[in-house]
Amino acid sequence: MATELSHEQLSALAREYGTPLYVYHAERIREQYNNLLEAFRGADVRFFYAAKALTNINVLRYVNHIGCNVDCSSVNEARLALHAGFDPEKVLYTSNNVSFEEIEEAQSLGVHINIDSISNLRKFGRKFGHSYPVGIRLRPNIMAGGNLKISTGHADSKFGIPLENITEVLDVIRETNLFIRTLHIHTGSEIKDVEVFARGIEVLFEVAQQFPELEVIDLGGGFKVPYMPGEEGTDIPLLGKKVKEEFEQYEAKYGRKLQAWFEPGKYIVSECGYFITKVNVLKPAVNAVFAGVDTGLNHLIRPMFYNAYHQIENISNPTGAIQQYNVVGNICETDTFAENRPLPEIREGDFLVFRNAGAYCFEMSSHYNSRFKPAEVMVEDGTARLIRKRDELSDLLAGQVY
């Protein structure tokens, strides 16, 4: 049974810190990471937490503290990771369509780098030759992921170097004497089917022999977590078993041992997060009631961005009679969090909690409508502490020149 925060704990935090409020439960992060270690026991594997999911420095520190590595999608994320105490050897920077200058900055930080275009690969080779091992992000032409916006490995995707350009890649390596240590793919997010990862391994193993100095196969992130009640996530133990078998078979066949890397973001932090909001107003809707909460797409955009489902609980009246609600935000677009959702009776002033609010939630928040970003709280060993204060007017003005 996974560790969770109770309705009473969440209500107390809402009263103490105000709403809207993001709450992260540290032990749940550790639990998810331990699940991975357990499932992949015996395999030569490293996990790099995809920091883009949630970069609060306290979360990064905690992830470092439990022994996990970190994957960064920008040089600033890499800087934050180093600031949080990660050793550069534990930091991976996987770029997409960035300038060569940004890659040079990452190189100067001493972190692992995956490059996703032939032009940057060539520039890197010309500048660093064999002196700095590097990874190549390939586009494996595999359709996967929960929706098109988070499908990143298909044949029409902007990510990675197309597999069909491998000859050109090999020419660049020959020309510049590059040291290719890693082959990387990330086919998408919310991939339930273990066979998709197996297909990715197969694709990379097919080309691996052309890279004599290869040490690592990096399969990216994308493990699905359950969002809806009764839904199932990726079968992590099955995946662990599969990866172990496939890599052992490769070693037996080619006499070459490769290490597997993964970059889970959502799997590590999604379930540790709770987003607590307060109901401001109730209004009639067709076949339902609008519950207008004190937040909107500026604080949690996933439902509007790609129809993400978040379980919602009325923690102020959990045993109330079930009614249909449209849970909507306070922003000047139609920011519907849930439509015709059966929920225990909602009264104005009730606290509603959105589950799975750890990954890509606060991280995608903005100041739209000049509203303050929510505060963030972390609960560790039963103790809550503020890890980001609620904004105030000076935060809206910060950086403006006037």
Residue nearer to ligand PLP on the CB measure, 297 or 361: 361
Q: Which string of x and - marks every residue 139-178 that binds ligand PLP (by CB under 6 A)? A: ----------------------------------------
- Interface residue with ligand PLP, options 186, 278, 299, 355 (CB under 6 A): 186
Residue nearer to ligand PLP on the CB measure, 205 or 267: 267
CA 86, CA 62: separation in Å to the nearest integer?
10
- Interface residue with ligand PLP, options 90, 181, 192, 266 (CB under 6 A): 266
30, 87, 26: which is closest to 58 by C-alpha? 26
Residues in the interface with ligand PLP (CB under 6 A) total 16
Residues 6+ apart with CB under 8 A from 282: 289, 290, 291, 292, 346, 347, 348
Structure tokens belonging to residue 331:
């922003």
Residue nearer to ligand PLP on the CB measure, 17 or 360: 360
Beta carbon of residue 135, minimum distance to ligand PLP (angstroms, whole number): 11
| Residue 358 contacts ligand PLP per CB under 6 A | no
Task: Assign 89 to helix, strand or coil.
Answer: helix
| Residue 112 contacts ligand PLP per CB under 6 A | no
Beta carbon of residue 227, minimum distance to ligand PLP (angstroms, whole number): 12
Residue nearer to ligand PLP on the CB measure, 120 or 189: 189
Beta carbon of residue 358, minimum distance to ligand PLP (angstroms, whole number): 10
CA 5, CA 25: separation in Å to the nearest integer?
7
Structure tokens belonging to residue 143:
């359709």
Residue nearer to ligand PLP on the CB measure, 261 or 351: 261
What are φ and ψ of residue 236, in 5° steps?
-65, -45
| Residue 189 contacts ligand PLP per CB under 6 A | yes
7, 60, 57: which is closest to 29 by C-alpha? 60
Q: Which of residues 209-228 bind ligand PLP (CB under 6 A)?
A: 220-223
| Residue 263 contacts ligand PLP per CB under 6 A | yes
| Residue 264 contacts ligand PLP per CB under 6 A | yes
Beta carbon of residue 221, minimum distance to ligand PLP (angstroms, whole number): 3
199, 133, 216: which is closest to 163 by C-alpha? 199
Q: 383-388 and 375-380: which strand pairing?
A: antiparallel
Catalytic residue among 72, 272, 332, 361: 332
| Residue 50 contacts ligand PLP per CB under 6 A | yes
Element (H, E) at 184: strand 180-184
| Residue 125 contacts ligand PLP per CB under 6 A | no
CA 348, CA 328: separation in Å to the nearest integer?
13
Applying CB under 6 A, which part among 34-42, 103-111, 202-210, 258-266 lies near ligand PLP? Answer: 258-266
| Angle (nearest 5°) at CA 257 between 252 and 262 | 120
Alpha helices, H only, 255-399:
266-269, 302-306, 393-397
Residue nearer to ligand PLP on the CB measure, 329 or 358: 358
For residue 200, CA distances in Å to 115, 143, 243, 253, 260 come to 18, 11, 11, 18, 12
Residue nearer to ligand PLP on the CB measure, 211 or 262: 262
Question: In this structure, are residues 217 and 186 in contact, taking their beta carbons and an 8 Å threshold?
Answer: no
Beta carbon of residue 378, minimum distance to ligand PLP (angstroms, whole number): 20
| Residue 291 contacts ligand PLP per CB under 6 A | no
Question: In this structure, are residues 115 and 94 in contact, taking their beta carbons and an 8 Å threshold?
Answer: no
- Interface residue with ligand PLP, options 71, 77, 271, 376 (CB under 6 A): 71
Q: Clarify whether 272 is annotated catalytic.
A: no
Which residues form the interface with ligand PLP (CB under 6 A)?
A: 50, 53, 71, 94, 186, 189, 220-223, 263-267, 359
**Looking at the annotation, which residues are catalytic?**
332
